[in-house]
Structure formats: C-alpha cells, structure tokens
Amino acid sequence: MIKTGIIGGAGYTAGELVRILLYHPQSEIVFVQSSSNAGNLVSDVHLDLLGDTDLRFTDALPLNEVDVIFLCMGHGKSKEFMEKKELPENLKVIDLSHDFRLKREGNDFVYGLPELNREAIKKALKIANPGCFATGIQLALLPLAAANLLVDEVHVQAITGSTGAGQKPTETSHFSWRNNNLSAYKIFEHQHEGEILQSLSQLQQGFSEGFNFVPIRGNHTRGIFVSAYTKFEGSLQSANELYRNFYNDHPFVVLAEKNPSLKQVVNTNKAVLYLEKHKYKLVIISLTDNLIKGASGQAIQNMNLMFGLDETTGLNLKPMAF
C-alpha cells in the first residue's frame, strides 16, 4: 500500500484526491493536513464524504510516515513549502500548483503529463501536475507537434466550469450571476499558455507559431470544453491515424468518431478527442473534467506511474453521465 499525505486539504483538488484515494485499491490516506480545519472531520468540509470516511484534518506533517505527498496549497505556496521544509530523502512529491511547471535553472520537477512524459514520470521524485486548461489543450495539440505539423497559427477557445475557479466565493462564482451566463476572461493572456508552449516546443523544436487562446467561463460546474484548429494539409483520415498512433497506449485518451459532448467525460479521468477537417483546417475538440484529468485524477495517474502501478489503478470511475 502506498502511504499518502495531502497538504492543503480543504480545497477542491484536495477533496477530489480524497474522494479517489479512499477507494484506490493500492494506496491509503495517512493524513490530510489543513491548518484552518485541524481537528475537524474531513467530511465537515467535503460534505459528500459523510459516511465514506471518519478521517480528520490534522495540523501535523508526519512526513516520515508517508511515501508521497500531494501539495494542494494554492499557487505560490508550494514553492515556499519546498524551500522551508526538509523532506525525507525518498519522499515523492506531487505538486498541483503552477509553481514548478515551467523549466528553469534549479527546478527538478518533472512536468506530469503522462501522455507527454510517461517515462520520465516513472522515474521522477517530484512532479509538477499540469494545469486544467493546459491539460485539455495539450492533449488536443501534442500529436501535431510530435509530427512537426504545427505550421501555422493555432486557434483555441476553451470553456471552463466553475470549479476551475476554486472554492472561494467571488462575484463571478455567485450563482445569481453565473447561472445561464457566459463571459470571457484573460483573453490571449491566460497563465497556462507558458506550459502549453513549453510542451509543444518539447515535441516540435523551434515551434514559434502564434497561439491564440480565448478562455471562457461557462455556467456548468465540471469540465473543460476545448475547440482548437490550425492549418493541416493532410486528410481527416491521416489526422485520425496520427492521433490514434500517438495515444495508442495511453489508456485515458479516447478518440471519438462522432461529435462528442462534455458530459461524456465528467467525473472520469478520460480525455475525449474528436477531429474534423474543413478546407485547410483541422478542428480538434478536446473534453476533460478539470478536477480529475485536469487536476486530482491526473495527480493519481502520476502517482500510479511513479510507484510502478498500472496507470489506471483506482481511476476506473463511474461516469456521471447526467
């Protein structure tokens, strides 16, 4: 049994980790840390877990008792944590913030997108878990980059659910405002662009085409709907082959033959991709659950790889469907 600890246990991604790990057959939760909730039941914060667990939040950090920790503390705080704490030598770390996603001098975290870096993840001690938009968008574009086929500007629009914005009540997460509403934000300036371009350049050296990204707040709770397109000379058939080959041995990426809808992936770790060809453009639809494949599910997928388990262990989740 892999012994796990969760740090920053009160937020959405931590809750989702607990939900999945509770029934993961080869791991157990040793502690869920939360300063503000220390002593309280985990199910007092993550209310749906009532009846599933009697775990309580702790303020302690018994790092010697676990094999892996998940950092769920919010952006900026993971870096601080890593600098301040002395970690046991072999303790594995999976960070869900954006603090270590970008390569730079002294950053020894592996970017944890299994469909891009599986072999490196297997050997890694530290993982920077990708962002939610970044996951959905990269999965849409990686096969093209791997074939050096990103030869023109890339156009991306992505609609995200409210859980992507976290737990804190704000104006744009107020039900009266958001219900039946839509709005764009951080147009062409979303912070996930960096990690996306980094991955595309990893596969297609010298990639420097324009990347246009319009993020949109949807009035749903879970899921990211990506539509992307770019110039593509080949046929639809050749595109489908390219994608099928690229994702051939990746269990969570599914290539749909029919135009899919977002709820096909909600509450699962799957990514559904779908291609159409129009004139000289290839259109790619990419669907993921932002809290699972876009966050906590992918973190556990990474954990599975790091510990030599089957990648899907504990991640065969019942789809919500409706």
Which residues inside 154-213 make contact with a second copy, applying CB under 8 A?
Answer: 155, 157, 159, 161-163, 167, 169-171, 173-185, 187-189, 210, 212
Task: Compare residues 63 and 255 and give the one whose CB is closer to a second copy.
Answer: 255
For the sheet containing 154-160, what is the strand order? 183-184, 211-217, 154-160, 224-231, 281-288, 271-278, 253-255
259 near a second copy (CB under 8 A) = yes
136 near a second copy (CB under 8 A) = no
86 near a second copy (CB under 8 A) = no
14 near a second copy (CB under 8 A) = no
Among 78, 135, 267, 302, binds a second copy (CB under 8 A): 267
Over the window 295 to 314, marking each residue x when it contacts a second copy by CB under 8 A and - when it does not, the resulting string is --------------------
**Shortest CB 317 distance to a second copy, Å:** 5
The answer to whether the CB of 259 falls within 8 A of the CB of 285 is: yes
Task: Compare residues 202 and 240 and give the one whose CB is closer to a second copy.
Answer: 240
Q: Which of residues 29-48 bind a second copy (CB under 8 A)?
A: 44, 46-48
Active-site residue (options: 18, 69, 132, 224): 132
Instruction: Provide the token pair at 272.
Output: 């559904």
C-alpha 27: how far from its chain's center?
20
**Shortest CB 71 distance to a second copy, Å:** 21
**Shortest CB 149 distance to a second copy, Å:** 18
293 near a second copy (CB under 8 A) = no
Residue with tokens 């593509």: 232
**Shortest CB 223 distance to a second copy, Å:** 7
**Shortest CB 33 distance to a second copy, Å:** 20
Task: Compare residues 170 and 237 and give the one whose CB is closer to a second copy.
Answer: 170
Q: How many CB atoms lie within 10 A of CB 302?
A: 28
Among 81, 111, 229, 243, binds a second copy (CB under 8 A): 229
- 3-class state of residue 163 by DSSP: helix
Run of H or E residues at 176:
helix 175-178
Is 132 catalytic? The answer is yes
Half-sphere exposure of 290 (CA within 13 A, CB side): 23
What lies within 8 Å, CB to CB, of 238 at 6+ separation is none
Please state whether 89 falls in left (phi above 0), alpha (psi between -120 and 50) or beta: alpha
Q: How far is CA 208 from CA 39, 148, 196, 205, in A?
A: 51, 12, 12, 9
The closest of 247, 240, 225 to 311, measured between CA atoms, is 247
Active site residues: 132
